[in-house]
Amino acid sequence: MPQLDVLYLFQGIATLVMGDPLIAIGRIVLIALGIAFVYLGARGTLEPLIMIPMGVGMASVNAAVLYLSATTMGTIFIDPMVSNPVKLLDALQINFLQPIYTYTFSNGLIACLVFMGIGVITDVGYVMMAPFSSMVIAIFAELGTIATFPVAVWMGLTYKEAASIAIVGGADGPMVLFTSLMLAKDLFVPITIVAYLYLSLTYGAYPFLVRLMVPKRLRGIKMDLKSIPKISSGEKLTFAIITCTILCLLFPVAAPLFMSFFLGVIVKESGVTRFIEFIEGPVLYGSTFFLGLLLGVLCEANTILNPKVLILLILGSLALLISGIGGIIGGYVMYFLTKGKFNPVVGIAGVSCVPTTAKVAQKEIQKVNRHALILPFAMGANVSGVITSAIIAAIFVTLLR
Amino acid sequence: MNGILKRKGYWIAGTAVALAGVAAVRLVAPALSYGGLNQAVTISGYVLAWLGIIILACGSGKRS
């Protein structure tokens, strides 16, 4: 009987022992992190829709490194760095997730599909009922994006990388994915993971920011819901198509994102049930599932262990923190403009994590005053935040690409 | 669509202002040499387009 080489039999362990010790430690940490994501996602502490597929992908890919040839190590999941057409053709036939990555990730399609789904569950009527306050708050809530950009450049990132991480301040996952794919392809994996990780944490962290910045007396302000106009589907549809055309004329580079979002809105308002069910079900959940899974699979230690990751972690949290502060400042501006009739907590909803931040605002207000309902105003700021984030992303891509 | 016809002034003005913004950004600004005037026209264009969208939104619904 020939002598059995255990390490040859279990190549996942062999590559761990034989490879660079730093990468080996990275792989073990990422496997543990993947398992933690699955656990926290299943418990509901982190967003399960993203974290469960991402955690499974992360743990599996780091466990499944094998010898592709006598000297090279890799996986048969995906090769994100392949660009040579011949090698790409090979990769498409060998790596089982390569077709999804090549045909939906690297061209931004998956971000557009998620955006289409967001469009179909979004009611633009909330923006149209209070356009001025919604837009003002949304602009203030971009403070994190604007302020983080120079800080990122100061910390040594290029303009393109700085813009990609600064967009995390807009708190919109698909937008971060789209911008980083357009501007910083080498860093898009860590940037998008940082973004999705932090976005999952906003639900837990923003209530503390609200309580810190808005005194209890102001948190209880009741807003006038009688002044809310009734917006018809026809008006929403007309608004959506005109706004979409104007934004596409202004920013052709980001036109796929605008078109996807407003297509979702228009499908919803036109009431075509079959399309609504298709987009809000298979398209939205299918793309979210593969987005999570591929982000996890892309977290292979060799790809993600970049010296810039620590900087990205700091900048991502800074961007979201400043955006939250900016949003609340916007709420205060509206409070003073309306002579005390506007609840400043609505400002946090300007950070466009739909509908998480709107729910945070409503929850915090109801803890102080059970009869205060601000959700329509918060949703208006929330949807405006999505549009404003897309505009800022478009400006960055137009100027820096 | 009755609501739109009743407040068509807002819809027409909003669209016109937003399109003027687009024209400023995409047609006028590129024709100017790079510098202060170019940047001023570009920024004004973005602001106009944004204002146009707000005016459009104001044309909707029964407001008290």
Only one residue has tokens 């549809």, namely: A237
DSSP annotation of A66: E
Q: Which residues pair with A74 in a beta bridge?
A: A66
Q: Which stretch of DSSP H or E encloses residue A191?
A: helix A188-213
CA distance B33 to chain A (A): 16
| Contact call for A235 and B26, based on CB within 8 A | no
Q: How far apart are the first and last CA of chain B?
A: 19
- Whether residue B12 lies within 8 A of chain A, CB to CB, comes out as no
Confidence of residue B64 (pLDDT cuts 50, 70, 90): very low
Disruptive mutation site among A136, A249, A253, A258 for chain B (greatest number of B CBs within 10 Å) = A249
CA distance A97 to chain B (A): 40
Residue A91, burial from CB neighbour count under 10 angstroms (0-12, 13-18, 19+): buried
Continuous H helices in B1-64: 2-6, 8-23, 29-31, 36-58
State residue A324's pLDDT score. 94
Confidence of residue A67 (pLDDT cuts 50, 70, 90): confident
Average pLDDT of A103-109?
86
Whether the per-residue pLDDT at B62 is higher than 60: the answer is no
Look at residue A230 and give its three-state secondary structure. Answer: coil
DSSP annotation of A84: S
Size of interface A-B (CB pairs under 8 A): 71
Q: Nearest CB to B63: which of A229, A234, A238? A: A229
- pLDDT digit string (tens) for A214-269? 999 999 898 888 878 888 898 899 999 999 999 999 888 889 989 999 999 999 99
Residue type, A228: I
Residue A271: partners with Cβ closer than 8 Å, 6 or more residues away: A233
Q: Under the phi-then-psi rule, with left for phi > 0, alpha for psi from -120 to 50, and beta for the rest, what region is A338?
A: alpha
Length of chain A: 401
CB atoms within 10 A of CB A76: 14
- Whether residue B56 lies within 8 A of chain A, CB to CB, comes out as yes
CB contacts of B11 in chain A (<8 Å) are: 238, 242
CB atoms within 10 A of CB A379: 27
Q: How far apart are CA B2 and CA B6, in angstroms?
A: 6
CB atoms within 10 A of CB A24: 17
Q: Nearest CB to A243: which of B3, B21, B53? A: B53
Rg (CA), chain A: 22
CB contacts of A239 in chain B (<8 Å) are: 56-57, 60
CA distance B18 to chain A (A): 7
- Round the average pLDDT of chain B to a whole number and report it: 84
Inter-residue contact B52 to B14 (CB < 8 Å):
yes
Q: How far apart are CA A13 and CA A22, in angstroms?
A: 15
| Contact call for B14 and A234, based on CB within 8 A | no
Q: Nearest CB to A242: which of B15, B21, B61? A: B15
Inter-residue contact B22 to A246 (CB < 8 Å):
yes
Higher pLDDT, A400 or A328: A328
CB contacts of B14 in chain A (<8 Å) are: 242
Q: How far apart are CA A139 and CA A122, in angstroms?
A: 19
Q: Which two tokens stand for residue A230?
A: 């009734």
Smallest CA–CA distance from B55 into chain A, residue = A131
Tally of domains within chain B:
1
Confidence of residue A337 (pLDDT cuts 50, 70, 90): very high
Q: Which stretch of DSSP H or E encloses residue A74?
A: strand A73-74
- pLDDT digit string (tens) for A298-322? 888 887 777 788 899 899 989 999 9
| Contact call for B57 and A227, based on CB within 8 A | no
Q: Under the phi-then-psi rule, with left for phi > 0, alpha for psi from -120 to 50, and beta for the rest, what region is A372?
A: beta
Q: Which of 16-45 (B) contact A at CB < 8 A?
A: 18-19, 21-22, 25-26, 45
Q: Nearest CB to B62: which of A135, A230, A250? A: A230
> Is B23 a domain residue?
yes
Average pLDDT of A354-381?
89
Q: Nearest CB to A235: which of B15, B61, B64? A: B61
- pLDDT digit string (tens) for A130-177? 888 999 999 999 999 999 999 999 999 999 999 999 999 988 888 888
Look at residue A41 and give its three-state secondary structure. Answer: helix
Q: Which two tokens stand for residue A387?
A: 């549009």
- Round the average pLDDT of chain A to a whole number and report it: 88
Burial of A225-252, coded b for 16+ CB within 10 Å and e otherwise, reads eeebbebbeebbbbbbebbbbbbbbbbe
- Whether residue B1 lies within 8 A of chain A, CB to CB, comes out as yes
Residue A97, burial from CB neighbour count under 10 angstroms (0-12, 13-18, 19+): buried
| Contact call for A250 and B49, based on CB within 8 A | yes
The DSSP-derived string for A298-340 is T--HHHH--TTHHHHHHHHHHHHHHHHHHHHHHHHHHHHHTTT
Q: What is the pTM of this model?
A: 0.86
Q: Which of A303, A310, A308, A300 is nearest to A27 (CA)?
A: A300
Whether the per-residue pLDDT at A1 is higher than 60: the answer is no
Contact residues, chain A to chain B, C-beta under 8 Å: 127-129, 131-132, 135, 226-227, 229-232, 234-236, 238-239, 242-243, 246, 249-250, 395
Helix, strand, coil distribution of chain A in percent, nearest 5: 75, 0, 25
- pLDDT digit string (tens) for B40-55? 898 889 889 989 988 9
Domain hosting B27: range is 2-58
Burial of A391-401, coded b for 16+ CB within 10 Å and e otherwise, reads bbbbbbbeebe
Complex ipTM: 0.90
CB contacts of A234 in chain B (<8 Å) are: 1, 3-4
Inter-residue contact A173 to A292 (CB < 8 Å):
no
> Is B63 a domain residue?
no
